[in-house]
Structure 1
Amino acid sequence: MSHPADRSAARSYSRRINIRLFALTLIILAGAAAFASWRALDAFERELVPEIEQKSITVGQSVNDLIEKALSIGVPFQQMVGMEQFLGDARAPHPEIRYLAISSTEGGLLYKSISSSSSMPDELPGIARQVIDGNHLKWAELEDYQNTALPITFDGKTIGVLHVGVERAFVRQTISEILYDILVVLLISLLVTFEVLLIIVAISITTPIRLMDNVADRLREGDFSLAVLHRSNDEIGRFLEAFNATIRSINESYDGLLNKVRSLQQKIGNRVVSKEVEDILAGVQERFRFFSSEGPRRQLRESSLINIRTPLFIFIFAEELSRPFFPIYVKELYAPIPGLTPEMVIGLPISVFMLMVAIATPFAGSWADRYGPRRVFMIGIVPAVIGFIGTGLALSLYDLLFWRCLCAFGYATIYIACQGYIADNTDSSNRAQGMAIFMGGVFAAGICGAAIGGILADRIGFRLTFFVSTALALLAAILVVNLIDPQPPRTDRAPKRGLRFGDFITVLGNTRFLALLLLGAIPGKIILTGFLFYLAPLYLKLLGDNQSTIGRVLMAYGIVTILMTPVFAKLADKLGAHRWFVGLGTAISGLGLIGILYQQSTISVLAGVIMLGLGHAMSISPQLAMVPEICAREVAEIGQTTVLSVFRLIERMGSVVGPFIVAALIGAFGYSGAMAGTGILISSAGVLFLAVFLGFAASGSSKGSKS
């Protein structure tokens, strides 16, 4: 008989091993990474100032060379026409250089080019006289600038001084950027390490322990016909081999005993004795179960849910790498399309991607049921890899749209294949935990992808980043081949009932379902794709932020969502207030965008992203919980899965139209106006949602009834 207490103890032991191993590894890694980061930042600070000084000298020398050429053909030094324009052109490629100025031998300024937000230091005349007296380069800190002064010589005489001014704030900003990048890489390395540890621990420790625990339960019940299927050369592998050898020895002893009994029966020849012996053997065989001496031995194996999380994490990570720069990349390939504004054209690839995901999802679901998750994952990886390569090589907007359709088809197929694996390897007792493992991988990949994608785009460019995505997608495929067992085509499972037009008529007849869709679910998707995926990267670029900064800003959405979603979901269930969380969450997600009216800055966009993450953390899970609550009659008529499928499919239309709606607002009101307008629209939808459902409650309409 099975002993639940012993089984619980084994699982508790496995959990304790996990916790201790993860904690120790992450502490060691965090300490090592922090030390390495500190040393790298220290080295960068020491080398940055000399590098800036050398760059100032290089730029200054190139200007001096051209001035000397002009002097050599007889142009008077103090009458050079267009010099300020020339200095402005020389300064333009180097935003850190805030001014270029030329002083006479008396120290007075002859020509200058200065950025609109800067001012000339008062000490320049004194610096110029020092350089002329000493006839050598001088570097000095003047007010808010690092000034490099180079003598201008002609015919062996110093005739003037060129000043190259680098804003000291640029040095601090550059160090801060590097520090932020280091911190992001540190965070991402911890998350990636966590994912790698999950799979290593699952394969090497927790799964073998669970298998052995299951076999031990069977042994207690008298079933000696199973062995643990686990092959490794580590300590656990050797222990399980000894464990299997013990079971094998028991079976061999039973076979030997059985053969001896048969031999004795033949020798004695007494039917009464033989009958008693047969009865005893029948009792033993009824109480115990052993290997068949002729058939194959049964081996127990367990499919760990972690086996699919790691490939899913890597693939989603690959797709999310382009999140911080994709609209900017599309802008570089812009081509006019009749009937669409330029802003709509830039948002078109995002909408097409979302539309293809919606179209491909039902097909991927039926394939996963029929062919198994492993085959469907490999089917999806082919168009995804081709799509990543094509996107990186795209020459025009039109072929970019085609490649993104392939990526979307692969994305939908792989996503559904992973969901199918979770469904196949869980039951009602642990399906919620399985989906938590699934969504945890998706959220973690979203955090990592946005941040690392921005850094990669700054360092290697947009196109090469797509090739990094290609490599990661191939790595995900390799992991699936090695971690997920192949399954024969499923012929034992009846094909799932597909969506029918009548299903939409049935569900959309419920006005409360319509209210949830139009005022909660669809606005949530509109602001996600319209603001986070489309508007935010473009606006941040307009504000002068680099790709690393854009990636860090977008990463905030994932961090807030992954931290707060479980908290709000538990609180909504506990209070039984799903509609309040949906309405307030929708209103809050839009409220953060309105702040751009007061301050047009990166901080305002970041605040909008954080508030969006907070609002979605409040509203997304309660939305799904509300569907069966308000559609009780429809669930009874066509099934909960069908109702949820209708909900999901229509909800995705918000993702499709989101970029177009925001693009229209940009054309009418500009970037800041579009951001505020989107916030007002979404917040208004949330408030109206609460008003509508309060009206339903006041009218006393029962759950699931049609209006």
Structure 2
Amino acid sequence: VAARCLCAAGYAIGTMAMQQHFLRAAADGERARALALFVGAVQTAAICGAPIGGLLAEQFGAAAVFAGAVGMSLLALLVQRLDRSPPAPATPNTSPPLLQLLFQRRILAPLLTAALPAKLALAGFLFYLVPLALQQEGFGSGSTGRAMMMYFLLVAASNPLASWLADHYGWERGLVAVGGLVIGLGGLAGLLGGAPALFAGIAALGIGTGLSAAALQAMLGRSGPAAVVLLRTVERLGAVIGPLLAGSLLTLAAYGGVMATIGALVIGATLGFVLLRPQERNAA
């Protein structure tokens, strides 16, 4: 448990540092594309890492996989040390303090109506509900893993297009809204029941996340590092709430009903995100 906590702390610190580097290094009008590169790299690693790790664990044991992970971390540190490119220019921190920023509507509204529901759907549906539902439908662990991999592939595929649209046309809010609606509609497919509905939900979650993730990060990133910290904190909160909510709903309904309920929650939150836009402008 201590080792997992240490890994989690390193992941959190490294993620925040890399996001700030991309935001500072990107030219004006290219922040969404820069963040899309980061998100794409993370998704590619997620696609490749799990199967490779599983294969190595079967052949050489878990200890060898952990040792390989340590070696990859040291290799990343070496590459960073050998990088001679000029650092991104430091920008003065003009963002408000963390707690003050939390109570600004232009920050709080996207956090609660976009970031939280998306992460809730990811953790509650994909990581909790899908394995249980596919097992109930007679699928093995290998088929379940391949089905879940579809999410990562679709995120990596849709991210570049969404970031280009955000940078060139300023469609950040629109992409966040469309992405949320796609995720929610995919959840409503649970009303149809069966494995095809699960696959449709996974595909919708991947496309919706790909459309909205980089745009949301770029939109909040303009408010400084504190806003990105709040974004990541709220996303972690959604990752905790998602499985708890899905597990509680499973005691009351079948997996199709749970899936549809999560989809309805995401749609409702996305409509709130859209409707809060005029108030945000007035508040500004």
**With structure 1 as the length reference, what TM-score do the two structures score?**
0.35
For the residue of structure 2 that corresponds to 1:668, the secondary structure is: coil
Tell me how far 1:429 sits from its aligned partner. 5.0
Aligned equivalents of 1:480, 1:584: Cα separation in 2: 36
TM-aligned CA distance change 1:541 to 1:406, over 3 Å: farther
Tell me how far 1:594 sits from its aligned partner. 1.9
Tell me how far 1:427 sits from its aligned partner. 4.2
TM-aligned CA distance change 1:670 to 1:456, over 3 Å: farther
Structure 2 unmatched ranges of 5 or more: 84-89
Runs of 4+ in 1 over 6 A off after TM superposition: none
Amino acid at match of 2:272: L
Identify the residue that residue 273 of structure 2 maps to in structure 1: 689
Identify the residue that residue 254 of structure 2 maps to in structure 1: 670
Amino acid at match of 1:408: A
Cα deviations by residue, 1:472-500 (Å, 9 ceiling, x for unpaired): 3033035246544389xxxxxx9x98x9x
Cα deviations by residue, 1:209-238 (Å, 9 ceiling, x for unpaired): xxxxxxxxxxxxxxxxxxxxxxxxxxxxxx
Structure 1 unmatched ranges of 5 or more: 1-400, 488-493, 630-634
Structure 1 residue 622 corresponds to structure 2 residue 222:
no
- Check conservation: 1:451, 1:552, Cα contact below 8 A: no
For the residue of structure 2 that corresponds to 1:545, the secondary structure is: coil
Identify the residue that residue 470 of structure 1 maps to in structure 2: 66
Cα deviations by residue, 1:169-215 (Å, 9 ceiling, x for unpaired): xxxxxxxxxxxxxxxxxxxxxxxxxxxxxxxxxxxxxxxxxxxxxxx
Identify the residue that residue 568 of structure 1 maps to in structure 2: 162
Aligned equivalents of 2:261, 2:36: Cα separation in 1: 34
Identify the residue that residue 599 of structure 1 maps to in structure 2: 193
- Check conservation: 2:102, 2:230, Cα contact below 8 A: no
Tell me how far 1:436 sits from its aligned partner. 5.4
Greater strand percent: which structure? 1
Greater helix percent: which structure? 2
- Check conservation: 2:190, 2:198, Cα contact below 8 A: yes
TM-aligned CA distance change 1:436 to 1:416, over 3 Å: same
Aligned equivalents of 1:598, 1:524: Cα separation in 2: 22
Structure 1 residue 544 corresponds to structure 2 residue 127:
no
Structure 1 residue 514 corresponds to structure 2 residue 111:
no
Kindly tell me the number of residue pairs found equivalent between the two proteins.
Answer: 273
Structure 1 residue 444 corresponds to structure 2 residue 28:
no
Tell me how far 1:676 sits from its aligned partner. 1.8
- Check conservation: 1:452, 1:551, Cα contact below 8 A: no
Q: Equivalent of 2:21, from 398, 418, 423?
A: 423
Tell me how far 1:563 sits from its aligned partner. 1.1
Aligned equivalents of 1:591, 1:482: Cα separation in 2: 45
Q: Equivalent of 2:244, from 644, 652, 660?
A: 660
Tell me how far 1:437 sits from its aligned partner. 5.0
- Aligned-pair RMSD on alpha carbons? 3.6
Aligned equivalents of 1:668, 1:564: Cα separation in 2: 35
Identify the residue that residue 12 of structure 2 maps to in structure 1: 412
Identify the residue that residue 613 of structure 1 maps to in structure 2: 206
Amino acid at match of 1:470: F
Tell me how far 1:678 sits from its aligned partner. 1.1
- Check conservation: 2:189, 2:197, Cα contact below 8 A: yes
Aligned equivalents of 1:604, 1:451: Cα separation in 2: 25
- Check conservation: 1:450, 1:552, Cα contact below 8 A: no
Aligned equivalents of 1:571, 1:564: Cα separation in 2: 11
- Check conservation: 2:183, 2:209, Cα contact below 8 A: yes
Cα deviations by residue, 1:51-105 (Å, 9 ceiling, x for unpaired): xxxxxxxxxxxxxxxxxxxxxxxxxxxxxxxxxxxxxxxxxxxxxxxxxxxxxxx
Cα deviations by residue, 1:223-256 (Å, 9 ceiling, x for unpaired): xxxxxxxxxxxxxxxxxxxxxxxxxxxxxxxxxx
- Check conservation: 2:185, 2:263, Cα contact below 8 A: yes
Amino acid at match of 1:448: C
For the residue of structure 1 that corresponds to 2:253, the secondary structure is: helix
Tell me how far 1:661 sits from its aligned partner. 1.6
**Which structure has the greater CA radius of gyration?**
1
- Check conservation: 1:451, 1:548, Cα contact below 8 A: no
The structure with higher relative contact order (CA 8 Å, sep 6+) is 2
- Check conservation: 1:447, 1:555, Cα contact below 8 A: yes
Q: Equivalent of 2:181, from 566, 576, 587?
A: 587
- Check conservation: 1:530, 1:660, Cα contact below 8 A: yes
TM-aligned CA distance change 1:571 to 1:429, over 3 Å: closer
Higher mean C-alpha deviation, range 671-680 or range 647-656 = 647-656
Aligned equivalents of 2:99, 2:78: Cα separation in 1: 45
Aligned equivalents of 1:561, 1:468: Cα separation in 2: 30
Amino acid at match of 2:66: T
Amino acid at match of 2:266: I
